[in-house]
């Protein structure tokens, strides 16, 4: 797990930069922040990007953005592109349907004298070991993820699960190569394996945060028992890794960050009220929202039929991002929001977790 | 222009039924209202449907729904399907992206003793003469539409333009056959002719309602001078007619309807506030919203780039309906809303008119 | 099973009419044949249509075309629309990608004095009993289909399986209502149930024609053992029936038809050579081709990667119809061909059955 | 114009490598050729790639592939990425619909002793000056392109237009920035400007090759007079340049290449016969085909209606590539073919130029 190690970690200062881009390979805005002395590339620990592809299987805008970031980081930090990829958690989410606007959210942290303004944003990271193909989408992945969440909380200086507000997981999938080595994989389909991996990862987060009890979970729970879920997990599957990378976003006393974070759960795709309450409670100026969206699996929103799951021209995740993105934009007046699809065990069926980071008086 | 003629027209009673459907050909919900004695087929003057196609060129769900309605009306009223089509203004708008739910809004009116509750909903209709191919999309269509709006206002018993809140126009397009007869048509492209016809129709509404002055308009204004628009027009082009059909929705003293109507304009696709104010001002229980949506033509929403106009996989009108539909659903808690795309001269660029019909104490 | 019963069935005369249409509801070309005295509506036993939808879940052009045909038949034959649907096997296949042209192929048969020109086209039909939800996609459906194929062969006057060249099956799916009644259905997913139903139906055809032995088949074979398939089956799942309808197309001595039929199998999507050989062997003038198309499930065509299965913007069946349709059009010089997607156990993986009907000297 | 200059140019040796890729950023196959000593990066003069995007406006696979190539060339040749872009003509064509397989075709040339086997492949390049925004899509671009074709012929050592078989042009478009500087641009729409630029470039090729006379052309011809076209032009518009880059592929005596090239024109999308004749005439082993495809603008193929131009879910260029790609694959047995969409003045309406490069006895 890359980046420079923190000392006593609640003396860190975490910052967040939201940077618009003109395309998946456009880092001019990021470079401008560096040139202006606002952003130090060496402090970057994670990037959550929204790129303008379809967010589904053949979305190359994610890979293109990741490659561009690796190249840029390698050049700035005089390291290899492989090292850059290990150092920074690059999570690219495709799909800016409707009003959503492509952008990168860049997270930094650096040592700092303790702040005295009360709880403020902290960021922590950890990684699991690599998984065997037969472990993916099963309890082995659930438990390793839970362990990594605990480690990332320690890395962030967070003592209580109540202070965790968003957990981003990057998780592997079963590639053709992995499937060839597997004995009894959870699925033989690469695309389906992405859902299982996200689902097991989210349940791992739920387990670590006490949202679900160990006794409630078994291999059979993953992508089946939808009543078990995390209100704070956001998982994204990618082909470039074999273990999970976990980034925990929460709050701690003593953090020197000028930012706060909170979370809520949208009960369904049009639940603007929950987000309005979250933002009113947090105060401050919005830096970004982080939300998961999905088409309600029962085929209805508030009792009325929707057509997202029957549309063979347009994937349901694209419909869902367009809808949730517009609702959140109407609440915040801002369209460069992180709204991601594919929400297995991430929030209730048809709804999803939402975290908000806001800038407050330091 | 079909339907039974009204006497003194402000003694009419207008009703509105919102009926979900399971597909474009499903009129079981409508029939159930008839069987329950709530709806008299002979009173129907207009149907505004949302069907689950792509809302673009090859959307056959609109035609399928229209054909199903003609058949149903012909059977119920013992008339021919052609007569049914002339009697009732059937406006089918394709596209229920995101959370939107397919449904029909059925408008009826019948003679009734005057109501005494103040201004209430009235509906009026009129039609222009058939247009020559070279007139379409030009001042001839603008002026004939304005004249028809005035006639429909009279038919509704509305004296002042201030009491008009929504004007639905069905207008022709330039088919290949029409183009073959044209000398100097506004365009040689059938698809483009739909935009010109909608645009000229909307400017006709604006002219009739005093939103634009005669002197401000010329042939060159249509689909060019976007600063001229109506806040109350909704236009839809179809191949089955040669002239415009106009349906005016407004209010009049003496109407016996239990419904009220009001309107506003969304300044952009995420302007929930304008609609919230409209509904708060009207009071009552929502029967339906009627809105036009479009992707902001300058490529940005509140200063941030959107990607709707560059998406070659998904037409911008589909993006826009998904976004605006979700915003309106989040305001109303209801997803069976009439949100239609293609808003030339219908509201400001990137925004659009919204009308609300609500049920109040009778 | 409708239509007038034949006497000694190899004294029938079968005819085939290929009729272009301007849309899914356009039967003007069919009516013109009736008006010209060429087609007697009472003789129609089956219609295979290509309509211009996406051929996937939300393709309403199929339903729209079927409804239009029922209405037209009901009017012409003075029967109810329900009777029309039972009388004529209406099989609508969506998707005319690439050069393919929307059209209907109308099959008629009527009693006739025996022909003396050798083997000629005969058509026969039969139906299975209705299936219980738990039988669908399993051996019960396989065996009942095999039995119905035998009956349809008898109805056609075909004695030997070698004289059968194409078997079109319409089969049910597991609707939500059916799933609610099922105890242990083959799948809980409506869309997946279509594949299982088509697969079991195709295996039933293979069993009846001796292409697969009873001992080789079990419940576990369906949609799993791809080495078992029919070279002559074409199956299509629809929501409007509970049992299978089977139409057998083959040849018999004594048929008075001026048509012949033959079949081949395309080994892959670009196997033009097999079709060229088929047509050269048959001689005569092409009336229509009937083909099944699918994206090669191993992700390659002749060893080169294809991208059809990874394209989240465009369903693989649409890619496959575009490709196979163009290849067949390049062989025949004709684009109004019946090319249908979804080929479970219908031809080898990545390839598919092709039948040709040609007009020969009578 | 980059690359090392040739001496007497018909003593060059041109080679062509067709390299499959696993994605737009995958150059492992290219690197393997280098590692095996078969390909010298310093000899590369052009790359024509097929990438797996939609080939339309938001196809980032083209940019991603170009960026990857620039990076790779810069690393191998120890030059900047900007120099790499100027040195090698990188033409990335998006869209591998149907059976088409993503790949790169790499063209090299190097000095060599004269060959004595008769006419063999030669490659030549040239560039125009940068165009003013108002020149684009007009005679200025036509004439400058014609001049560049003549220069590229000289660079290739080709004396007669009859020996030119394929001319690939990369041409600019009118970006928003360019439009802001323009006084009277041919269009104010960026997307439309791509068609005008391709059209003017193709007419420039036609003029240079004597396919069209100077007197037949004026500003008004571009994208209007479809009877004027080149049988050998292939044009592609991109945002990264302001002038045209021209690569001429032809034959010359004395070339030391083991390859030959020829061309034909498909009369329509299913004209397999023309290509079969071309290949039979050339002999040898196919290295690659280079073809342009388009949906017939009159809405019909061989008199039958097609639906490509009405499909709002799937762009006509995607339909056309799927169809033409499959036809060519069925002729050659090979799916990694260069089939590109958007064929203004490149071949007859609905058809397009096809060039074949084959390996013959040296």
Q: What is the per-residue pLDDT for D8?
A: 44
Residues A301-350 pLDDT 10s = 999 999 999 999 999 999 999 999 999 999 999 999 999 998 899 999 99
B-chain CB neighbours of C71 within 8 Å are 71
C59 to chain A: closest CA residue: A312
- Asked if pLDDT for residue B227 goes beyond 60, the answer is yes
The verdict on a CB contact (< 8 Å) between C24 and B71 is no
**Nearest chain C CA: its distance from B239 CA (Å):** 13
- Asked if pLDDT for residue B158 goes beyond 80, the answer is yes
Instruction: Please give the mean pLDDT across all residues of chain B.
Output: 94
Pick from C188, C313, C321, C342 the residue to mutate for testing the A interface (most A CBs within 10 Å): C313
- Angle between helix axes B272-282 and B316-332 (nearest 10 degrees) is 40
D-chain CB neighbours of A52 within 8 Å are 58, 60
* Chain B, chain C: beta-carbon pairs less than 8 Å apart: 36
Residues C102-161 pLDDT 10s = 999 999 999 999 988 899 999 999 999 999 999 999 999 999 999 999 999 999 999 999
Question: Which of D57, D58, D312 is opposite residue B58, by nearest beta carbon?
Answer: D312
**Nearest chain D CA: its distance from C271 CA (Å):** 6
pLDDT band per the 50, 70, 90 thresholds, residue B309: very high
Q: If DSSP states are collapsed to H, E and C, what string results for A304-353?
A: EECCHHHCCCCCHHHHHHHHHHHHHHHHHCCCCCEEEECCCCECCCCCEE
Q: What is the per-residue pLDDT for B348?
A: 96
- Asked if pLDDT for residue D1 goes beyond 80, the answer is no
Partners of residue A110 on adjacent β-strands:
A13
The verdict on a CB contact (< 8 Å) between B58 and D311 is yes
**Nearest chain B CA: its distance from A128 CA (Å):** 36
Q: What is the per-residue pLDDT for D10?
A: 53
pLDDT band per the 50, 70, 90 thresholds, residue D267: very high
CB atoms within 10 A of CB C113: 9
Known catalytic membership, residue A236: yes
Best CA proximity match to C282, nearest among C361, C354, C358, C362: C358
The verdict on a CB contact (< 8 Å) between A304 and B52 is no
- Asked if pLDDT for residue B1 goes beyond 80, the answer is no
**Nearest chain B CA: its distance from C76 CA (Å):** 16
- Asked if pLDDT for residue C361 goes beyond 80, the answer is no
A52 to chain D: closest CA residue: D58
3 state SS of D97: coil
Q: What is the per-residue pLDDT for A273?
A: 98
The verdict on a CB contact (< 8 Å) between D312 and B315 is yes
**Nearest chain A CA: its distance from C58 CA (Å):** 6
C-chain CB neighbours of B49 within 8 Å are none
pLDDT band per the 50, 70, 90 thresholds, residue D5: very low
Residues B79-137 pLDDT 10s = 999 999 999 999 999 999 999 999 999 999 999 999 888 999 999 999 999 999 999 99
More confident residue, D361 or D337: D337
The verdict on a CB contact (< 8 Å) between A315 and C312 is yes
Residue of C170, C230, C255, C296 marked catalytic: C170
Burial of D281 by CB count in 10 Å (0-12 exposed, 13-18 middle, 19+ buried)? Answer: exposed
Cα diameter, chain A: 56
The verdict on a CB contact (< 8 Å) between C64 and B24 is yes
The verdict on a CB contact (< 8 Å) between D59 and B313 is no
Q: What is the per-residue pLDDT for C117?
A: 83
What does the pLDDT average to over D133-158? 97
**Looking at the complex, does the CB of residue A184 fall below 8 Å from at least one CB of chain C?**
no
A296 to chain B: closest CA residue: B99
**Nearest chain A CA: its distance from D298 CA (Å):** 26
**Looking at the complex, does the CB of residue C64 fall below 8 Å from at least one CB of chain B?**
yes
Question: Which of D25, D67, D313 is opposite residue A313, by nearest beta carbon?
Answer: D313
CB atoms within 10 A of CB B95: 30
More confident residue, A236 or B240: A236
Residues 6 or more apart from C33 whose CB is under 8 A from it? C17, C19, C39, C106
Question: Which of B25, B67, B313 is opposite residue C313, by nearest beta carbon?
Answer: B313
Cα B311 to Cα A100: distance, rounded to the nearest angstrom = 13
Pick from B59, B98, B306, B307 the residue to mutate for testing the A interface (most A CBs within 10 Å): B98
Cα B118 to Cα B362: distance, rounded to the nearest angstrom = 10
Q: What is the per-residue pLDDT for C189?
A: 84
Measured CA angle at A268 (ends A265, A270), to 5 deg: 105
D-chain CB neighbours of A61 within 8 Å are 60
Question: What subunits make at least 3 CB pairs under 8 angstroms with A?
Answer: B, C, D
DSSP output for B318-348: HHHHHHHHHHHHHHHS----EEEE--TTBSS
The verdict on a CB contact (< 8 Å) between D60 and A71 is no
- A-facing residues of C in 291-320 (CB < 8 A) are 307, 310-313, 315
**Looking at the complex, does the CB of residue C274 fall below 8 Å from at least one CB of chain D?**
no
CB atoms within 10 A of CB C7: 9
Q: What is the per-residue pLDDT for A10?
A: 53
- Asked if pLDDT for residue C7 goes beyond 60, the answer is no
pLDDT band per the 50, 70, 90 thresholds, residue A250: very high
The verdict on a CB contact (< 8 Å) between A307 and B52 is yes
**Looking at the complex, does the CB of residue B80 fall below 8 Å from at least one CB of chain C?**
no
Residues C224-236 pLDDT 10s = 999 999 999 999 9
Residues A61-102 pLDDT 10s = 999 999 999 999 999 999 999 999 999 999 999 999 999 999
Q: Evaluate whether B158 touches B231 at the Cβ level (below 8 Å).
A: no
Pick from C307, C309, C328 the residue to mutate for testing the D interface (most D CBs within 10 Å): C307
pLDDT band per the 50, 70, 90 thresholds, residue B192: confident
A-chain CB neighbours of D25 within 8 Å are 60, 63-64, 67
Question: What subunits make at least 3 CB pairs under 8 angstroms with B?
Answer: A, C, D
C-chain CB neighbours of B25 within 8 Å are 60, 63-64, 67
**Looking at the complex, does the CB of residue D336 fall below 8 Å from at least one CB of chain C?**
yes
ipTM of the complex: 0.94
Residues 6 or more apart from D46 whose CB is under 8 A from it? D88, D89, D90, D91, D106, D107, D123, D125, D168, D247
Q: What is the per-residue pLDDT for A148?
A: 98
Cα A196 to Cα A237: distance, rounded to the nearest angstrom = 9
**Looking at the complex, does the CB of residue B270 fall below 8 Å from at least one CB of chain C?**
no
Residues A282-305 pLDDT 10s = 999 999 999 999 999 999 999 999
Q: What is the per-residue pLDDT for D3?
A: 42
**Nearest chain C CA: its distance from A310 CA (Å):** 6
pLDDT band per the 50, 70, 90 thresholds, residue D34: very high
- Asked if pLDDT for residue A2 goes beyond 50, the answer is no
Residues C151-199 pLDDT 10s = 999 999 999 999 999 999 999 999 888 888 999 999 988 888 999 999 9
Strands (E) in chain D, as ranges, are: 12-20, 44-51, 89-94, 103-111, 120-130, 164-171, 233-237, 243-252, 259-266, 285-293, 300-301, 304-305, 338-341, 352-359
**Nearest chain C CA: its distance from A337 CA (Å):** 23
Q: What are phi and psi of D5, to 5 degrees?
A: -75, 145
3 state SS of B150: helix
What does the pLDDT average to over B184-189? 91
Pick from D49, D53, D64 the residue to mutate for testing the A interface (most A CBs within 10 Å): D64
What percent of chain B clears pLDDT 70, i.e. is strictly above it? 97
What does the pLDDT average to over B157-180? 93
Burial of A359 by CB count in 10 Å (0-12 exposed, 13-18 middle, 19+ buried)? Answer: middle
Cα D6 to Cα D8: distance, rounded to the nearest angstrom = 6
A-chain CB neighbours of B331 within 8 Å are 272, 330
């Amino acid at each position: 797990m890359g980046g420079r190690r923190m000392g006593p970690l609640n003396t860190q200062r975490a910052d967040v930069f939201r940077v618009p881009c003109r395309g998946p390979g456009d880092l001019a805005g990021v470079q401008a922040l560096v040139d202006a002395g606002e952003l130090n590339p060496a402090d970057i620990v994670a990037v959550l990007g929204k790129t303008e592809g379809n967010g589904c299987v053949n979305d190359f805008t994610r890979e293109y953005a990741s490659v561009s970031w690796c190249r840029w980081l390698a050049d700035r930090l005089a390291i290899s592109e492989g090292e850059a990829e290990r150092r920074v958690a690059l999570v690219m989410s495709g799909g800016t349907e409707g009003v959503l606007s492509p952008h990168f959210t860049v997270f930094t942290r650096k040592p700092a004298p303790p702040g005295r303004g009360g709880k403020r944003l902290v960021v922590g990271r950890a990684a699991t070991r690599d998984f065997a193909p037969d472990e993916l989408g099963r309890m082995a992945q659930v438990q390793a993820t839970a362990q990594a969440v605990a480690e990332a909380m320690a890395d962030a200086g967070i003592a209580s699960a109540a202070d965790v507000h968003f957990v981003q997981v990057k998780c592997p999938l079963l590639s053709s190569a992995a499937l060839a080595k597997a004995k009894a994989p959870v699925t033989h389909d690469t695309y389906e394996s992405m859902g299982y991996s996200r689902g097991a990862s989210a349940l791992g987060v739920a387990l670590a945060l006490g949202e679900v009890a160990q006794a409630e979970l078994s291999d059979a729970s993953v992508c089946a028992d939808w009543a078990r879920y995390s209100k704070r997990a956001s998982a994204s599957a990618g082909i470039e890794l074999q273990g999970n990378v976990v980034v925990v976003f929460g709050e701690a006393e003593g953090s020197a960050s000028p930012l706060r974070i909170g979370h809520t759960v949208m009960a369904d795709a049009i639940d603007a009220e929950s987000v309005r309450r979250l933002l009113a409670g947090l105060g401050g100026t919005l830096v970004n929202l982080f939300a998961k969206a999905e088409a309600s699996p029962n085929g209805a929103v508030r009792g009325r039929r929707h057509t997202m799951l029957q549309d063979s021209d347009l994937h349901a995740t694209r419909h869902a991002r367009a809808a949730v993105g517009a609702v959140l934009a109407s609440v915040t007046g801002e369209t460069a929001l992180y709204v991601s699809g594919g929400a297995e065990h991430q929030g209730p069926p048809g709804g999803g977790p939402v975290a908000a980071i806001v800038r407050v008086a330091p």
